[in-house]
Structure 1
Amino acid sequence: MSAPGRRRPTNVLANAPFRRLWTAASVCSLGDWLNILALTALAANLTEGGFRNQSLAVGGVFVAKMLPAVLLGPLAGAFADRFDRRLTMVVADLARFAIVVSIPFVGRYQWIIIATLLIECVNLFWVPAKDATIPNLVPKQQLEAANRISLLVTYGTAPVAAALFALLSVADDLLHTTASLLQPTSLALGLNALAYLVSALLIFTLSGIPRRGGAISTPSVLRQIIDGWRYIGTNRLVRGLVIGMLGAFAAGGAVVGVAKVYVLAQGGGDAAYGTMFGAVFVGMAAGMFFGPRLLSGLSRRRMFGVSIVSAGVVLAALALVHNLVIVVMLTALLGAFAGIAWIIGYTLIGLEVEDALRGRTFSFLQSTARVVLLLVVAVANPLAALFDKRTVQLGQITYAFDGTNLVLLIAGVLAAVVGVLSLRHMDDRPGIALSDDLLAALRGEQYKPEVDEQLPGMFVAFEGGEGSGKTTQSRLLAIWLRDQGYDVVQTREPGSTKVGMRLRAILLDAAERGLSPRAEALLYAADRAEHVEKVIRPALLRGSIVVTDRYVDSSLAYQGAGRALDPSDVAQVNAWATGGLVPHLTVLIDTPPEVGLTRLGGAADRIESEPLEFHEAVRKEFRALAAAEPGRYLVVDGTLPSEEITRQIQDRVREILPDPVPQESEDVTGTMPAIRD
Structure 2
Amino acid sequence: MTGPLGDPTQARSVLRIRPFRRLWIALSLSSLGDWLSLLALMSLAAILTADQRPLVQYFAVSGVVVLKLAPYILFGPFAGWLADRFDRRLILVGGDVLRGLLYISIPIVGDILWLLIANFLAECVALFWAPAKDATVPNLVPKHKLEQANQLSLFTTYGTAPVAAALFTVLATISSVVAHAVPGLDPQAMATSDIALYINGVTFFVSAVVIWTLAIPKTGAPTQPESLWRAIWSGWHYAVSTPLVRGLLLGMLGAFAAGGAVVGVARPFVETLGAGNAGFGLVFGAVFVGMAAGMFLGPRVLADFDRRRLFGLGIAFAGVSLIVIGLVPEFVLATLLAGFVGCGAGIAWVIGLTLIGSEVDDEIRGRTFAFLHATARIVLLGSVAVAPLIAAAIGQRQFVLSDLRYDFHGTAGVLLVSGVVSLVIAFVSYRNLVGDSETTLWQEIVKVFVPAADRKKGAPEQFPGTFIALEGGEGAGKSTQARQLAIWLREEGFDVVTTREPGATKVGLRLRAMLLDQGQVGVSPRAESLLYAADRAEHISTVIQPALRRGAIVISDRYVDSTLAYQGAGRQLDTEGITEINDWATHGIMPDLTVLLDIPAGAGMERHGRPADRMESEPTEFHDRVRQAFLGLAAQAPDRYLVMDARESADDITRAIQRRVRPLLPDPVPQSAEAITGTMPVIKDVQG
CA-CA distance at 1:368 after TM superposition: 1.1
CA contact (8 A) 1:159 1:282 kept: no
Q: 1:338 to 1:232 in 2, by over 3 A?
A: same
Q: How does 1:526-541 map to 2 (within 5 A)?
A: none
CA-CA distance at 1:561 after TM superposition: 2.3
Residues 519-538 of structure 1 deviation map (CA, whole Å, 9 limit, x = unaligned): 954444565788899x7999
Pairs aligned (count): 629
In structure 1, C-alpha distance between the alignment counterparts of 2:533 and 2:213, rounded to whole Å: 69
Partner of 2:73: 70
CA contact (8 A) 2:260 2:380 kept: yes
Partner of 2:330: 323
| Partner AA of 1:609 in structure 2 | S
Is 1:39 the counterpart of 2:45? The answer is yes
Instruction: Give the alignment partner of residue 618 of structure 2, picking from 593, 603, 610.
Output: 610
Instruction: Give the alignment partner of residue 291 of structure 1, picking from 271, 288, 297.
Output: 297
| Partner AA of 1:47 in structure 2 | Q
Partner of 2:589: 584
Residue range with higher mean Cα deviation, 337-346 or 241-250: 337-346
In structure 2, C-alpha distance between the alignment counterparts of 1:293 and 1:557, rounded to whole Å: 20
Q: 1:276 to 1:523 in 2, by over 3 A?
A: same
CA-CA distance at 1:249 after TM superposition: 1.0
CA contact (8 A) 1:93 1:197 kept: no
SS at match of 2:110: helix
Q: 1:16 to 1:155 in 2, by over 3 A?
A: same
In structure 1, C-alpha distance between the alignment counterparts of 2:77 and 2:98, rounded to whole Å: 17
TM-score using structure 2 length: 0.66
CA contact (8 A) 1:245 1:341 kept: yes
Partner of 2:253: 246
Q: 1:395 to 1:101 in 2, by over 3 A?
A: closer
In structure 2, C-alpha distance between the alignment counterparts of 1:408 and 1:13, rounded to whole Å: 44
Q: How does 1:69-468 map to 2 (within 5 A)?
A: 69-84=72-87, 85=90, 88-89=94-95, 92-93=98-99, 96-97=102-103, 100-101=106-107, 104-105=110-111, 107=112, 113-129=116-132, 144=149, 147=153, 151=157, 153=160, 156-165=163-172, 167-168=174-175, 183-185=188-190, 188-189=193-194, 192=197, 195-196=200-201, 199=204, 203=208, 206=212, 212-214=218-220, 215=222, 218-228=225-235, 242-284=249-291, 291=297, 295=301, 301=307, 307-339=314-346, 362-392=369-399, 397-416=404-423, 418=425, 421=429, 425=433, 433-436=443-446, 438-439=448-449, 450=456, 465-466=473-474
CA contact (8 A) 1:529 1:577 kept: yes
CA contact (8 A) 1:38 1:186 kept: no
In structure 2, C-alpha distance between the alignment counterparts of 1:606 and 1:35, rounded to whole Å: 63
CA-CA distance at 1:629 after TM superposition: 5.3
| Partner AA of 2:126 in structure 1 | N
Q: 1:446 to 1:621 in 2, by over 3 A?
A: farther
| Partner AA of 2:168 in structure 1 | A
CA-CA distance at 1:161 after TM superposition: 2.4
Over the matched positions of the two proteins, sequence identity in percent amounts to 34
Partner of 2:577: 572
CA contact (8 A) 2:460 2:589 kept: no
Q: 1:462 to 1:274 in 2, by over 3 A?
A: closer
Q: 1:41 to 1:468 in 2, by over 3 A?
A: same
| Partner AA of 2:258 in structure 1 | A
In structure 2, C-alpha distance between the alignment counterparts of 1:449 and 1:653, rounded to whole Å: 30
CA RMSD of aligned residues (A): 6.4
In structure 1, C-alpha distance between the alignment counterparts of 2:242 and 2:273, rounded to whole Å: 44
SS at match of 2:406: strand
In structure 2, C-alpha distance between the alignment counterparts of 1:94 and 1:637, rounded to whole Å: 40
Residue range with higher mean Cα deviation, 445-454 or 609-618: 445-454
In structure 2, C-alpha distance between the alignment counterparts of 1:651 and 1:23, rounded to whole Å: 36
CA-CA distance at 1:415 after TM superposition: 3.6
SS at match of 1:399: strand
Is 1:619 the counterpart of 2:619? The answer is no
Residue range with higher mean Cα deviation, 138-147 or 151-160: 138-147
CA contact (8 A) 2:319 2:419 kept: yes
In structure 2, C-alpha distance between the alignment counterparts of 1:175 and 1:429, rounded to whole Å: 68
CA contact (8 A) 1:225 1:368 kept: yes
Residue range with higher mean Cα deviation, 273-282 or 299-308: 299-308
CA-CA distance at 1:160 after TM superposition: 0.8
CA contact (8 A) 2:33 2:203 kept: yes
Q: 1:527 to 1:230 in 2, by over 3 A?
A: farther
CA-CA distance at 1:245 after TM superposition: 3.3
Residues 102-161 of structure 1 deviation map (CA, whole Å, 9 limit, x = unaligned): 7524x46xx655554344223323444556567778999899499489645566323212
SS at match of 2:616: coil
Instruction: Give the alignment partner of residue 565 of structure 2, picking from 534, 550, 557.
Output: 557
In structure 2, C-alpha distance between the alignment counterparts of 1:17 and 1:195, rounded to whole Å: 18
Q: 1:100 to 1:417 in 2, by over 3 A?
A: same
In structure 2, C-alpha distance between the alignment counterparts of 1:526 and 1:543, rounded to whole Å: 23
| Partner AA of 2:80 in structure 1 | G
Q: Is there any run of 5+ residues in structure 2 with no aligned partner, and where? A: 1-14, 484-494, 549-553, 667-671, 673-684
Partner of 2:11: none
In structure 2, C-alpha distance between the alignment counterparts of 1:194 and 1:460, rounded to whole Å: 50
In structure 1, C-alpha distance between the alignment counterparts of 2:258 and 2:393, rounded to whole Å: 19
In structure 1, C-alpha distance between the alignment counterparts of 2:35 and 2:104, rounded to whole Å: 17
Q: How does 1:617-656 map to 2 (within 5 A)?
A: 617-625=625-633, 628=636
| Partner AA of 1:78 in structure 2 | W
Q: 1:212 to 1:594 in 2, by over 3 A?
A: closer
CA-CA distance at 1:254 after TM superposition: 0.8
| Partner AA of 2:127 in structure 1 | L
In structure 1, C-alpha distance between the alignment counterparts of 2:606 and 2:581, rounded to whole Å: 36
For the pair shown, the structure with the greater C-alpha radius of gyration is 1
In structure 2, C-alpha distance between the alignment counterparts of 1:409 and 1:11, rounded to whole Å: 47
CA-CA distance at 1:371 after TM superposition: 2.0
In structure 2, C-alpha distance between the alignment counterparts of 1:101 and 1:261, rounded to whole Å: 21
SS at match of 1:400: strand
Q: 1:230 to 1:209 in 2, by over 3 A?
A: farther
Partner of 1:665: none
Q: 1:543 to 1:54 in 2, by over 3 A?
A: same
Q: Is there any run of 5+ residues in structure 1 with no aligned partner, and where? A: 1-8, 476-483, 513-518, 660-673
CA-CA distance at 1:255 after TM superposition: 0.6
Residues 168-223 of structure 1 deviation map (CA, whole Å, 9 limit, x = unaligned): 467668889998xx843366246525743784597489466768332576431122
Partner of 2:489: none
CA-CA distance at 1:318 after TM superposition: 1.6
Partner of 2:10: none
CA-CA distance at 1:42 after TM superposition: 3.6
In structure 1, C-alpha distance between the alignment counterparts of 2:595 and 2:285, rounded to whole Å: 44
CA-CA distance at 1:336 after TM superposition: 4.7
In structure 2, C-alpha distance between the alignment counterparts of 1:365 and 1:318, rounded to whole Å: 28
